[in-house]
Amino acid sequence: MLNDKDLKQIEARGASPATVRAQVERFKTGFPWMNIEGPAVPGHGIQVLDEKQLEEASAYVETAQVNGKCKFVPASGAASRMFKDLFSGLEKLSAGEAIADDSPAAKFVAAIEKFAFYDESLFGKPENTSASRRDILAKTLTDEGLGYGAKPKGVLKFHKYEGETRTAFAEHLVEAQDYMRNADGSANLVVTVSPEHRALFEAALEEVKALYEERYGVKYSVEFTYQDKATDTVAVTPENEPFRTETGELLFRPAGHGALIHNLNALSDELVSIKNIDNVAVERLLPITAKYKKALMGKALELRDTIFGYLRLLDEMFPVDVYKDIKIPGYNNTVGDLDVYNSEQCRTLCEDIESFLAEQLCITLPAASNTVERVEQLRKVLDRPIRVCGMVKNLGEPGGGPFIIREKDGSTSLQILEGVQINPSDANAVACLKAATHFNPVDLVCCLHNYKGEKFDLLQYVDEEAGFISSKSYKGRELKALELPGLWNGSMSRWNTMFVEVPVETFNPVKVVLDLLRPAHIA
């Protein structure tokens, strides 16, 4: 399957032949469908906070001890999909064809003066002619003008204010100074970019950094990171043979946002907020955005402290240095004093933890065969990374959905699933999908340190069975692509998860350029 040339190519990418062979095998076997118990809904899987609870959660952030905060912003990739309809219109106009007045490209041209990037000296006044339409589209998308069709979303001018325009990246800087400040007044951001776009982001930062630091009284620390090429996955033909380019080389493709778990794993901060680069709004909506982001942080820290408390109680009840040499016959691990395990105190603590897991996190565990196994099972479940995910009422927007899943070991957990992970032939799964009321807008807060203050190795909590396969093409040739478990899907599958409802006003993504005409993007 792999020749000497392939092995050299793989080695040069920092990958391993074993990984590539495993990926090809995965195309053949596919991924298992998720075993869905039901949708997570308000009252059962999704918490809906009243005003008092919002205030309490926000207040908790102000007093909780946190070893560093960071805003993590996935921002790699060009904005080509954002302008897909415009490229189509430009292609027709350049070929001498007309475009319909109600087409996205025509609507864009008619509204060009409303966009933050409009400059009359570049675009002129729009006219209802093919020549004018073609000129405006070309100057938006190509090197005839702005060249936005090949630039990343983060550096595009999204919003227009009195005397100022802001990129999507600039709006993330403004957000960070509000709800992600550290105790010393700094705001840390880690932005994942493509190497070819780094200079654009650095220029966008340089343009506003000093201005915002003075205006908001903040000190920014911004780090740009790349998706590791070693995480790219090999493509295959429809027959599941390695796909080769015209030069005979293997074709590797970015493995989706799941590869960013490596970037997240490299962070030293304990509390991390995750939000996509295009999900921003004008500053007048920042109060409600910050209100709910602080509430998510507060719930994450409350959850962290409750879990840490349980783990410390278990340590006090079963101190390793005292019980390390005591073994129970028939049980392989060193466990401690059997009388302590069978005590009323131990049973009460286990019951408290089990009730907490079920009520707060929808986690139920299979019955343990003995008390020792029960304690160790609970300790293992508690000692995991934490995420609190904002959930928006489903209004037809794309996004992963919140579900309660039955795991292979019989336990249940809260998971965010994409549509491709749900078996269309499973009547129960389809019914659960139809009954779902919310979706995830990629609005997450994560706690990445354990109760001893150590960083979790996040790679140990990935469900490798939660990826998916998609159909793509390369220069007109059909291929199959492999996506790693998504960052907020399978990559966080084995985390302790809580879902909290957030209002739709906090979710304002720009998937196509006409989205910039929505009220949330007009100052």
For the segment 48-69, what is each residue's pLDDT rounded down to a tens digit? 999 999 999 999 999 999 999 9
Give the three-state DSSP class for 270: coil
Asked if residue 480 lies in contact with residue 233, where contact means CB atoms within 8 angstroms, the answer is no
Residue 167 CB partners (closer than 8 Å, separation 6+): 154, 155, 156, 157, 158, 204
Residue 305 structure tokens: 């402290």
420: confidence class by pLDDT, cuts 50, 70, 90: confident
Q: Tell me what pLDDT residue 337 has.
A: 53
Question: What per-residue confidence (pLDDT) applies to 410?
Answer: 94
- Interacting residues of 251 by C-beta distance below 8 A, sequence separation 6+: 234, 235, 243, 244, 245, 474, 479
E strand or H helix that includes residue 334: none
Chain mean pLDDT for the chain = 92
Cα separation, 390 vs 500, in Å, equals 5
Say if CB 226 and CB 192 are below 8 A apart.
yes
pTM of the model: 0.92
Length of the chain: 523
Q: What pLDDT, on a 0 to 100 scale, did the predictor assign at position 346?
A: 87
Residue type for position 30? G
**In angstroms, what CA-CA distances link 450 with 10, 142, 260, 271?**
35, 49, 21, 12
Q: Where are the alpha helices (DSSP H) in 392-496?
A: 427-435
Q: What was the pLDDT predicted at 397? A: 59
Q: Pull the structure tokens for residue 226.
A: 């790349």
**What confidence tens digit (pLDDT) does each residue in 429-452 have?**
989 988 999 998 889 999 999 999
Q: How confident is the model at residue 507 (pLDDT cuts 50, 70, 90)?
A: very high
The CB density around residue 302, as the number of other CB atoms within 10 Å, is: 18
| CA–CA separation, 414 and 71 (whole Å) | 24
| Cβ 513 vs Cβ 117: under 8 Å | no
Q: Write down the pLDDT at residue 369.
A: 87
CB 158 within 8 A of CB 510: yes
pLDDT digits over 186-213, tens only?
999 999 999 999 999 999 999 999 999 9
- Angle between helix axes 344-361 and 286-317 (nearest 10 degrees) is 160
Q: Which residue has the tokens 């131990």?
A: 346
Residue 324: the pLDDT is 45
Which letter does DSSP use for residue 111 in this model?
Answer: T
Reduced to 3 states (helix: H, G, I; strand: E, B; else coil), residue 389 is strand
Question: How distant, in Å, are the alpha carbons of 1, 91, 451 from that of 321?
Answer: 52, 72, 18
Residue showing tokens 């992600």: 180
pLDDT bin (cut points 50, 70, 90) of residue 398 is low
Q: What's residue 99's pLDDT?
A: 96
Q: How far apart are CA 457 and CA 107, in angstroms?
A: 49
CB 511 within 8 A of CB 85: no
CA–CA separation, 428 and 413 (whole Å): 17
> What does the alpha-carbon distance between residue 496 and residue 385 come to, in Å, rounded to a whole number?
6
Helices 371-382 & 344-361 angle (0-180, nearest 10) = 40
Give the pLDDT of residue 334: 46
What confidence tens digit (pLDDT) does each residue in 319-353 have? Answer: 755 444 444 344 344 445 566 777 888 889 999 99
d(CA 343, CA 341) in angstroms, rounded, equals 6
Residue 15: pLDDT above 50?
A: yes
**Largest CA-CA distance found in the chain, in angstroms, rounded:** 87
- For 203-244, how does the pLDDT look when each residue is reduced to its tens digit (9 = 90+)? 999 999 999 999 999 999 999 999 888 889 999 999 999 999
Segment 92-104 mean pLDDT? 96
**Which residues, other chains included, contact 126 with Cβ-Cβ below 8 Å and sequence gap of 6+?**
109, 110, 112, 113, 132, 133, 136
Q: Are 495 and 261 in contact (CB under 8 A)?
A: no
Q: Which residue blocks in 365-426 are alpha helix, DSSP H?
A: 371-382
Which among 329, 330, 325, 317 has a CA at the least distance from the CA of 378? Answer: 317
Residues 350-363 have a mean pLDDT of 97
Q: Where are any strands of DSSP class E within 127-254?
A: 157-161, 164-167, 186-192, 219-225, 233-234, 252-253
Please write down the long-range contacts of 508-512, taking CB distance under 8 Å and 24 or more positions apart.
508/279, 508/280, 508/281, 508/285, 509/276, 509/278, 509/279, 509/397, 509/441, 510/82, 510/153, 510/158, 510/168, 510/278, 511/81, 511/82, 511/278, 511/398, 512/82, 512/83, 512/84, 512/85, 512/104
Q: What is the dihedral of CA 130, 132, 137, 139, to 10 degrees?
A: 150
Provide the pLDDT for residue 325: 44
Q: Tell which wins on pLDDT, 282 or 466.
A: 282
Give the residue-averaged pLDDT of 10-31: 92
